[in-house]
Structures are given as structure tokens and as C-alpha cells.
Amino acid sequence: MLYNNFSSYLKTKYGGRISKICIDGGFGCPNRDGTCGMGGCIYCGERGAGEHIDPTLSIRDQVSSALAADQRSRGFIAYFQNFTNTYAPINILKERYDSALISDRIVALAIGTRPDCIDDEIATLLASYSDRVDVWVELGLQSASDRTAELINRGYKTEVYRRAADILKSHGIPFVTHMIIGLPGENETDIENTVSLINESAWGIKIHSIYVMEGTRLAEMYRDGEYIPPSREEYVRLAAKTIASLREDMIVHRITGDCPDGMLVAPEWNRDKSGIIEEIRKTLERDGLRQGSLVCK
């Protein structure tokens, strides 16, 4: 196997097909309401990565609908996806998480959030679900560079990510770290530094290709000539190198990103998700690489 892909991990762990239910939990973001910033990250749309989720449905109805529509899967992951899903008082968090865990067909609870919205109280709550389902947190790091963080309006310094990672580890909660290849102003060394930081303690990784989405600050920068996304060939090369630079035991949840339908500004190659994945695999094979090949022993 070229890398430890998430789908193979799920089949091995649960013995069959496991599907993800993407949930809009009705949360906000401290980087939009003025707590730590306004406007959100420059690449993030108004729905905070939840463009494909019906926000008019309750959490229970979102889950019930997904369960009813899929009788083939052996189990499901309840994935609180868009915006910051630990950004609320603890009683509200518990109420909303409980609303998703309505069936024994749900085998895992995944919580997407920001490192600056993790503390001991939240980690204790999340750990309390571990006797019912597998639990993990997804942290939006994107880059280890504080220079890049300021440019993309991330709203926290990288030291905050390290602190959140330590809290989660102390409570026995595995976490997946998100990174983006192709951020404005980043070079290959920045990407290498991000991978090194993720290798320190993350259980899994999501590698995203940057894309310019309509209605974002990044779209304005692109149209003003302030930003040029990487070429298809460059992204494939960097993604393959990133995979080869990961710890051998890291679970690779994704290796590219895809823009919501009808909202892509650039690059055009982002539409070809399956083709990009295949090119990354072929690049690894051609260069004699696999996950862990470039990690210093």
C-alpha cells in the first residue's frame, strides 16, 4: 500500500463499508464574530465548508435522513463539519452531540473545530463519548507558519495548535490535522515545516489542495492578480512528497480538496478529483515512494 488511506482503515477496523454523515451543527466561528477576527479565513465561504448540507434540518433529522437513505453501509460516522463545532457552552455542545448519536449504526463521532476552541472541559466531554463510539477531533491548522496564518486571517498562532494537541493527547482523544498545499506566499520549506509539526502527534491528516471559491477574499485576491494557485503538476508533486514525508502510522483521510458545485473560480483542475488522486498515486509509484519513505529514521 502506498499510504494508509482512511477507507482501508475503516474497512479493516469495522469489517465493512462505513459512511460519513456530514452534519451542520448550527455553530458559529470566533473568526467571524469578532472574538478573534472578522470575515473568516480568506479561502472559507459563507457556509464554512457546509455548502452541501441542508441547514434547515435539525441535527436529528439530518442524521435520520442519512440513515434512512443508506441501508448498505455497515456503520456511520457522525461528522460535525462546518464552522467551529466546539464553539458553544458545554451544555449546548452535549445537547447537540447527543442529538446526532441516535442509532447504534453510528460507530464514530468526529468533531471539526479550531485549536483555539479546545480546552480541558471540552476534551473531557468528548472523551466521555468514547465508551459508546470512537471519537476524534479534526483541527484546522492549514500551515505551521505564523506568517502564513496572518496572511490567510487564521486568527491564532501556531503555538495554540500545539497546546490543543497536548490537551487532546492528555485526554486520550486522537485528532486529524488539516493542511493546505498552495496557500498564498508559501514555499516548499513552509510545507515541509507543516508536515513536521503534524508528524509530532496527529493520528491522521487531511491534505487539501487550495481552490479559489466564489465569494471569498481569496477570490478577490485572484481576480486582482495578488494570488496564483499552483499548477496541477506542482500540486501532484507536492502532495506526493507530503505523503512520503508522513509518519508510517499516520492515517491519511484525504489527499486533495474539491470545491462545492458551481462555486469554483480557479484552478480548473480542481474539478478532476479522481484524476488528481490517480496522478498522485502514479507519482509515488514512479518515484519509488510510499508513506514514510522521506521520514528521517
**In angstroms, how far is CA 4 from the centroid of its own chain?**
16
Check residue 296 and give its pLDDT: 72
Check residue 156 and give its pLDDT: 96
Max distance between CA atoms of the chain, in angstroms, equals 52
d(CA 94, CA 127): 12
Check residue 50 and give its pLDDT: 43
Mean pLDDT by 10 residues, the chain (297 residues): 96 95 93 87 68 76 95 96 95 98 97 97 98 97 97 96 98 98 97 98 96 94 97 98 98 93 93 96 98 87
CATH superfamily of 6-286: Aldolase class I (3.20.20.70)
Check residue 44 and give its pLDDT: 87
Look at residues 183, 178, 176, 177 and name the one whose alpha carbon lies nearest to residue 153: 183
Q: Tell me the CA distances in angstroms from 106 to 8, 73, 79, one per residue in order.
A: 18, 10, 10
Buried (b) or exposed (e) across 102-127, using 16+ Cβ within 10 A? eeebbbbbbbbbbbbbbeeebbebbe
Check residue 53 and give its pLDDT: 60
Provide the residue count of the chain: 297
The structural domains of the chain, with segments of one domain joined by +, span: 6-286
Check residue 48 and give its pLDDT: 41
